[in-house]
Amino acid sequence: MAIKDDHYTGGETEGGITSSYATNDGVKLKVAYSFMGSIYDEAERKAALDAMSQDSLTMGPKTIEFQDKFAKMSGTKYAFAATSCTTSMHVVTQLFDIRPGDEVIVTPNTFVATSLVILKEGGVPVFADIDPRTFNIDPNDVERKITPKTKAIYVVHYAGQMVDMDPIMEIAKKHNLKVLEDCAHATGSSYKGRKAGSIGDCGAFSFHSLKNITTCGEGGMITTNNDEYAKGIQNLRCMSNMPQTWNDQLTDKNDPVWTFGKIVKRRTDPIQYWMPAHFDVIPWNGHWGSNYRMNEIQAAVGCCQLDKLDMLVAKRREIAHKITAGLQDVPGVEPVYEDPNCFHSFHLYTVCVDEKALGGSRDEFMQVLYQEEGVQGILHYQPTYHFTGLKRMGYDPDQCPRANEFFYNREFNIPMHPRLTDQDIQDMVDGIRNTSAKLRKRHCKA
Ligand SMILES: Cc1ncc(COP(=O)(O)O)c(C=O)c1O
């Protein structure tokens, strides 16, 4: 049972809007916003049950298999499973050595986690405005926001359409900045033939319930091609646990690290497995690790989901293209723009409206679409600097006008997942067409 207090704004769930969009207000919906972004069948059910009978239920053979498969899929040298995209990005933030006062340039059009991980380490999110066609961070504004304190750029491949990565990587190279790709929406996406998570220094993926693939509702993955980062990720993801093979981490190879109050063994000595604590702990570059491990049931399901990834993305794309075709020439309504450099995985389908052409507001559009046409739209994302915690830090509320206009006046996301039927698609297209006509009749008398 959820605790209802001043902070609680969600439905009857423990996670608020991170676990349900159910409204329970009596509105009869034709197409509700589902919280399951994927398809599970017998394969996932069997894999989960099989994993449950293993000796270890965490970070075992299934996790290794999932990581290997994921690295192959994303075209990266390494992939490391974690509990979520948020924790994956936290690991990367520590790995990038973001320290108090360091600035990280980030998009405001993202789930708040992309900035929270910077704030957690004392870093300063600096927001760059978005491109009004793709809703992704605008490389020109990134360049404008660079100062001597800038240490990294965090991009988000919004809705599954990748950021224009070439200019981002050029800027990073020129100013010696690290790049994190927040690939929460982008499993299966690519840019100029390169997969999400393979272009920046690291990628972070989400397998939350809504995402293109899901590992039982939560899960994450970190990708990198960098050997040194690979060690750091393993160290920071799991208790600053330094495998014994990493002797090169020690400046003095004879460090007396195996102690029980007194020195018992030197690291280079042969040891028994129980001596003295099975593993050693050392902060990575001054940062202590966490417990962000993935369990075996999730990893086993993740393997099955990867087998389905091409099919899942193909279904999303087919549905999206039918919607786009259905929304041609609807006055005041813009279907999704697809950047020809990108293979869009359509995690989201974002419709934009032109309030002037409609004579009514985006909010009125969503209201009519929901209450009269039975189609549930959802907004992503309130500019991060508008959250109270950041407002209190003094962020200028008008700093990214295109992100503000996008969130408050232009966008909404319609239901998008691979189980949508042709009837659902028709209902959504008809609903949007009817809503446009109703608003124009009401306001423009057209
Ligand atoms: C763009 C973006 N980044 C990060 C996250 C955080 O992902 P997770 O829930 O796996 O921590 C999300 C989740 O919704 C997201 O949409």
Top mutation candidate among 35, 111, 120, 218 for ligand 1, by most atoms within 8 Å of CB: 111
User: What is the sign, positive or negative, of the torsion defined by CA atoms of 171, 177, 178, 179?
Assistant: negative
Q: Are residues 236 and 170 in the same domain?
A: yes
pLDDT above 60: residue 393:
yes
Q: Are residues 385 and 425 in the same domain?
A: yes
The whole-angstrom separation of Cα 277 and Cα 26 is 58
pLDDT, residue 257, reads 47
pLDDT, residue 19, reads 77
pLDDT, residue 247, reads 46
For ligand 1, whether the C-beta of 85 sits within 6 Å is yes
The whole-angstrom separation of Cα 154 and Cα 58 is 30
- Global pTM reads 0.93
Provide the CATH number for the domain around residue 115.
Answer: 3.40.640.10
422-443 vs 362-371: helix crossing angle, rounded to 10: 130
Of 299, 323, 342, which one is at a domain's C-terminal end?
299
pLDDT, residue 271, reads 54
Q: Are residues 385 and 370 in the same domain?
A: yes
Q: Return the minimum-mean-pLDDT range out of 179-188, 241-250, 421-430.
A: 241-250
For ligand 1, whether the C-beta of 111 sits within 6 Å is yes
Q: What is the pLDDT of residues 148-199, one digit of tens each?
A: 999 999 999 999 999 999 999 999 999 999 999 999 999 999 999 999 999 9
Angle at 328 between CA 326 and CA 331, to 5 degrees: 115
pLDDT, residue 109, reads 98
End-to-end Cα distance, the chain:
49
Q: Are residues 314 and 196 in the same domain?
A: no
pLDDT, residue 11, reads 52
Top mutation candidate among 91, 109, 162, 206 for ligand 1, by most atoms within 8 Å of CB: 206
pLDDT, residue 239, reads 83
Cis ω for the linkage preceding 33 (within 30 of 0): no
How far, in Å, is the centroid of ligand 1 from the Cα of 84?
8
Q: Which residues pair with 125 in a beta bridge?
A: 104
Q: Are residues 109 and 214 in the same domain?
A: yes
Provide the CATH number for the domain around residue 391.
Answer: 3.90.1150.10
- The model's confidence at residue 300, banded by pLDDT at 50, 70 and 90, is very high
pLDDT, residue 45, reads 98
How far, in Å, is the centroid of ligand 1 from the Cα of 248?
34
pLDDT above 90: residue 25:
no
Average pLDDT, the chain: 91
pLDDT, residue 122, reads 98
Share of the chain above pLDDT 70, in %: 88
Q: What is the pLDDT of residues 63-87, one digit of tens each?
A: 999 999 999 999 999 999 999 999 9
pLDDT above 70: residue 384:
yes
In a domain, 407, yes or no: yes
In a domain, 130, yes or no: yes
In a domain, 343, yes or no: yes
Which SS3 state, helix, strand or coil, does residue 349 take? strand
How far, in Å, is the centroid of ligand 1 from the Cα of 87?
10
- The model's confidence at residue 24, banded by pLDDT at 50, 70 and 90, is confident
pLDDT, residue 274, reads 61
pLDDT, residue 277, reads 59
In a domain, 277, yes or no: no
Q: How many folded domains does the chain comprise?
A: 2
In a domain, 270, yes or no: no
Of 299, 321, 338, which one is at a domain's C-terminal end?
299
Residues 6+ apart with CB under 8 A from 150: 102, 103, 104, 105, 126, 175, 177
Return the ligand 1 atom nearest residue 210 CA: 14
For ligand 1, whether the C-beta of 211 sits within 6 Å is no
Q: Are residues 314 and 439 in the same domain?
A: yes
pLDDT, residue 282, reads 82
Of 274, 299, 324, which one is at a domain's C-terminal end?
299
Q: Are residues 57 and 20 in the same domain?
A: no
80 lies in which domain range? Answer: 42-240+288-299
For ligand 1, whether the C-beta of 84 sits within 6 Å is yes
Taking CA atoms only, the protein residue closest to ligand 1 atom 7 is 85
pLDDT above 90: residue 266:
no
Please answer whether residues 211 and 38 qualify as being in contact, where contact means their C-beta atoms are separated by less than 8 angstroms.
yes
In a domain, 274, yes or no: no
For ligand 1, whether the C-beta of 208 sits within 6 Å is yes
Buried-state track 153-176, b at ≥16 Cβ within 10 A, e below 16: bbbbbbbbbbbbbeebbebbeeee
Taking CA atoms only, the protein residue closest to ligand 1 atom 14 is 111
For ligand 1, whether the C-beta of 184 sits within 6 Å is yes
For ligand 1, whether the C-beta of 113 sits within 6 Å is yes
In a domain, 354, yes or no: yes
Return the ligand 1 atom nearest residue 219 CA: 10
For ligand 1, whether the C-beta of 114 sits within 6 Å is yes
Residues 6+ apart with CB under 8 A from 251: none
Q: Are residues 52 and 30 in the same domain?
A: no
pLDDT above 60: residue 259:
no
Q: Are residues 60 and 30 in the same domain?
A: no
pLDDT, residue 156, reads 98
Q: Are residues 324 and 369 in the same domain?
A: yes
- The model's confidence at residue 17, banded by pLDDT at 50, 70 and 90, is confident
pLDDT, residue 299, reads 98
Q: Residue 295 carries which DSSP code? A: B
pLDDT above 60: residue 244:
no
Which SS3 state, helix, strand or coil, does residue 286 take? coil
- The model's confidence at residue 394, banded by pLDDT at 50, 70 and 90, is very high
For ligand 1, whether the C-beta of 86 sits within 6 Å is yes
What would the two tokens of residue 160 be? 């599954």
pLDDT, residue 111, reads 98
What would the two tokens of residue 236 be? 């920071």
The whole-angstrom separation of Cα 270 and Cα 352 is 65
Q: Are residues 28 and 64 in the same domain?
A: no
Q: Are residues 85 and 211 in the same domain?
A: yes
pLDDT, residue 18, reads 76
How far, in Å, is the centroid of ligand 1 from the Cα of 243?
30
The whole-angstrom separation of Cα 428 and Cα 316 is 15
pLDDT above 80: residue 3:
no
Average pLDDT over residues 257-276: 50
Return the ligand 1 atom nearest residue 89 CA: 4
Q: What is the pLDDT of residues 85-107, one digit of tens each?
A: 999 999 999 999 999 999 999 99
In a domain, 283, yes or no: no
pLDDT, residue 278, reads 62
How far, in Å, is the centroid of ligand 1 from the Cα of 285?
26
pLDDT above 90: residue 131:
yes
How far, in Å, is the centroid of ligand 1 from the Cα of 279?
32
